[in-house]
Chains A and B, each alone.
Chain A
Amino acid sequence: MTDGDLDATDPRTLPGFFDALAEGELLGGVCADCGQVLLPPRPACYACGSRAVDVEPQSREGRVFSYTEVRTPPPAFAADAPYTVAVVELADGGRLLGRVAADYADVAIGDAVELAVREPTAAEREVALDYEADWPLHVFEPR
């Protein structure tokens, strides 16, 4: 086993992934042995166990795989509710959960969406852990 030299600049760590996302780049892990896409990147492939994980930019376009509306939010997000969340299958094969910038009634399985990135709001910083405070948030916008 290798990669004992991981540090916070490596996109296979969360700080490294979110630093790239803040610059507008969505990075995925791609297994060199089986092709599985890992979002966010991580040191090992869950599909085959390989640790030969390359980091590659991922398409931000995808389609809604499943979706719902959060009506009873966690206390930290009470002011946002109701809001739509979805699992999106991205064009390069990975799947990612996120909020959708659309009303629930206007979303359907198969809808085309694109991932956008924004800075955390003051309210989101308030409930963030110290090390998360500057991490960006992603949201899927209908195309």
Chain B
Amino acid sequence: MPEPVIASVGASPLGRTDLPGRDLFSVALAEAFDGLPDPADVVEAVYVGNQSESYEHQIMYGTLLAEWAGLRYVPAERVEGCAAAGALALRHAVKDVRNGEHEAVLACGVEKMTSAGTSGATDALSAAFDRAIEQRSGITAPSQYALLAQRYLHETDATERDLAEIAVKNHANAARNPRAQFPKEIDAETVLESDPIAPPLKLYDCAPVGDGAAAVLVTTAELADDLDRPRVRVAGSGASANNIAVAERDMTDIAGARVAAETAYEEAGIDAADVDIAEVHDAFTVCEALLAEAAGFAPAGTGYQSYRAPAERADGWTDVRLSPSGGLKARGHPIGATGLLQALEAYEQLTGAAGDRAVEGAETALLLNEGGVADAVTVGHVLTTAEAP
């Protein structure tokens, strides 16, 4: 079986932009193909992660973006899974290369979230929740995650200040990331004193609304070498759906994410302790704590210590560094593009292109991308430059 690798990455500016979705994609694609032959000479299929047609009243993003890339008569489709759409697109590309169907597949993601203000984004995101009970009760994304946070604070030693420190850490990482939507440091007081959105979560516990696109080229190792590109192996890929309603899940043991991570580890022949860096789905600060536990980095109830240096964490924690990009919180969270921005960060970290934010010696990364609330769907990928075991 050919082993899929990531051979190139690109992204648009993130945040409030003056470009529609297809144009954001063109910017991301131009970066990914800088110095390479044209996409039409390389790419054999396209997957597009995209959350919602409500932002641009547009579906058919597979067709549209393939066309804008100069590709005709190739398989191209939109992949939907709310905020996990990007990693689902990556997973499809990986499988196509792994099973020998294609030598080069473009996984991309795009979201134009700022087209209808905060209320437009709130409304579009609420479509990810169960319609019959949850939506009709008036639940929102922040309030769903607040239900998890309230329960987590109740069951563990974590405090609201610990959650604030996760945001502080991620902003500090983003301050060294030229791609970040919020490249600035903040302090815990800024978080704790920010507007309550859905208690115990405050404004600075929440990832921002923003536009963005990302493009990731998945190829065989041989093609990456022919293109003279640094390559990162996609050694494992796992995906897992859990109940749509958060009420019917375990709200502090994020079991679907655990399955996705363990599946990816198993395929890669590694375990959690082998992971050097992780980009996890910190749509809200509490997610980083919960996912650190689900990924096997932290004993149950201690994931909130993710902001601490490895030596200052509880016994049983690994040395992993979380969200070196600044995470969804500060790097940005353009929904359908997020899973691919995670892959972009790992690619840059593992190929020595992460500049000031490089985590020294990093060889292996875990990506965890979620859609809906928490583990309604989770996609896990292991990326590595280490030799296959």
Contacts and interface: CB of A to CB of B under 8 A. Distances in A.
A, B co-complexed: yes
Contact of B251 (A66, A85, A88): A66
B243 A97 contact: no
B154 A68 contact: no
Interface in B117-165: 118-119, 122-123, 126, 132-140, 142-143, 146-148, 150-151, 154
A74 B126 contact: yes
Given A39-B248, A75-B123, A96-B247, A14 B132 contact: yes
Contacts of B122: 72-75
Interface string B163-200: 00000000000000000000000000000000011111
Given A85-B143, A132-B136, A71 B197 contact: yes
A99 B137 contact: yes
A68 B146 contact: yes
B246 interface: yes
Residue from A72, A88, A95, A124 whose CB has the most chain B CB atoms within 10 Å = A72
Contact of B151 (A40, A66, A74, A78): A66
Interface string A75-94: 11110100101111000000
A97 B140 contact: no
B84 to A, nearest CB: 19
Interface residues of A, number: 37
Q: Helix, strand, loop or mixed for chain B's interface?
A: helix
A69 interface: yes
B136 A75 contact: no
A22 to B, nearest CB: 14
A137 B136 CA distance: 8
B159 to A, nearest CB: 16
Given A74-B126, A104-B199, A109-B154, A66 B138 contact: no
Contact of A109 (B132, B143, B150, B199): B150
Residue from B126, B199, B246, B247 whose CB has the most chain A CB atoms within 10 Å = B247
Interface string B247-283: 1100100000000000000000000000000000000
Contact of B123 (A39, A74, A97, A124): A74
A96 to B, nearest CB: 6
Given A72-B197, A137-B136, 20 more contacts: A18-B132, A39-B133, A39-B247, A46-B248, A66-B147, A66-B148, A67-B150, A68-B200, A69-B198, A70-B139, A70-B140, A74-B126, A74-B138, A75-B123, A76-B123, A85-B139, A85-B147, A87-B147, A98-B133, A109-B150
6 contacts: A66-B151, A66-B154, A68-B198, A72-B140, A76-B123, A124-B136
